[in-house]
Amino acid sequence: MKNYVFVLLIIGVATLVGCKSVHKITDKDNSSAVNNRKKAQRKVQFIDGIEITPGSVVKSKHKPATTKTKAEEIAELREIPTSSKIDIEKVKQLQLKYAIILDTYIENISNISLFNKIDEWWGVNYCMGGTTKDCVDCSGFTGNMMRDVYRINLPRTASEQYTASDRVDREHLKEGDLIFFKTKRGYINHVGIYLHNNKFVHASTSNGVMISDLDEHYWQGKYAGGGRVVN
């Protein structure tokens, strides 16, 4: 009987010790899980003021490198001096106007400086030897345009400008190239600036500064070649 009671006591002690051990193991596992959750919820700080929280979008606290206005960005893309104030609506109207005149895509009217300068000179009367907006001749006009738009200084007369430029075949003409004509006596005596789609701007004797087409009957028989001047 005593032996039976002793055996029961040993079994009871062993059971209590086993439960406590299991409880300690469980406590340790729960503590580890809680710590992991806490770590996951903490912010992780990186250098340069950039931080991230798990599950969130990364955002930089840095200010943009530049503070350009929309007008200044457009001006830079289109090579307009950013020092001048730009009316974006005026630029759009200018592009639309000359896209219609040249019968070309509006994307081709990208050199706003060139077309703005043409707009300034549009309709100026022709006079032999003229170089101003009071009146101008063909080479006086091309000289002003190439200087103001492309920073290229040309000789004074059409024949001298022809000599100073490199020959360009008609099919390879590009915006800004010079085009020359022999309107009388078989020598170079007229010059204009090529634009797009066979169109060119020039100071004509009849209508002053205007845009004409190389395919017009009058100009077809007088075309003498294209010229390109590299500064």
The more confident residue out of 11 and 40 is: 11
Cα 5 off chain centre by: 97
Does 35 share its domain with 116? no
For the stretch 121-171, pLDDT in tens is 999 999 999 999 999 999 999 999 999 999 999 999 999 999 999 999 999
Mean of pLDDT values over 86-109: 92
Residue-number span of the structural domain to which 200 is assigned? 111-228
Read off the pLDDT band of 15 (50, 70, 90): low
pLDDT at res. 53: 38
Under DSSP, the state recorded for 125 is: P
- 34 found inside a domain: yes
CB-CB neighbours of 124 under 10 Å = 20
Three-state secondary structure string covering 206-224: CCEEEEEECCCHHHHCCEE
- Residue 172 annotated among the catalytic residues of the structure: no
Q: Which of 230, 128, 222 minimizes the C-alpha distance to 183? A: 222
Residue 94 lies in a domain: no
- Does some domain include residue 188? yes
Question: Per the residue annotation, which of 23, 135, 196, 202 is the catalytic one?
Answer: 202
In a domain, 85, yes or no: no
102 sits in the region (left: phi over 0; alpha: psi -120 to 50; else beta) called alpha
Catalytic-role residue among 138, 172, 196, 217:
138
Q: How many angstroms separate the Cα of 87 from the Cα of each of 52, 68, 95, 107?
A: 42, 15, 13, 18
pTM, two decimals, is 0.64
Q: How many domains does the chain have?
A: 2
Cβ atoms of 94 and 115 closer than 8 Å? yes
Would you state the pLDDT for residue 201? 98
13 vs 197, higher pLDDT? 197
Of 36, 173, 60, 19, the residue nearest 192 (C-alpha): 173
Whether 23 sits among the annotated catalytic residues: the reply is: no
Going from the C-alpha of 192 to that of each of 30, 34, 64, 91, the distances in angstroms are 88, 83, 45, 24
pLDDT tier for residue 56 given thresholds of 50, 70 and 90: very low
Residue 82 lies in a domain: no
How much helix, strand and coil, in percent to the nearest 5, is found in the chain? 45, 15, 35
| Contact between residue 108 and residue 95 where contact means Cβ atoms under 8 Å apart | no
Please state which of the ranges 39-43, 51-55, 173-177, 225-229 shows the lowest mean pLDDT: 51-55
On the question of pLDDT at 49 being above 90, the answer is no
Known active-site residue 196: no
Q: What is the mean pLDDT of the chain?
A: 77
The residues, any chain, with a CB within 8 Å of residue 92's CB and separated by 6 or more, are none
CATH of the domain at 199: 3.90.1720.10
At residue 192, the pLDDT reads 98
In a domain, 128, yes or no: yes
Indicate if 224 and 115 belong to the same structural domain. Answer: yes
Phi, psi angle pair for 229, to nearest 5°: -115, 125
Q: HSE on the CB side for 49, CA within 13 Å?
A: 4
Interaxial angle between packed helices 138-150 and 112-121, expressed in degrees from 0 to 180 and rounded to the nearest 10: 150
**Beta-bridge mates of residue 45:** 51
Query: What is residue 3's predicted lDDT score, i.e. its pLDDT?
Result: 52
22-36, 83-97, 159-173, 191-205: the lowest-pLDDT one = 22-36
Which tokens is 53 given? Answer: 């929280």
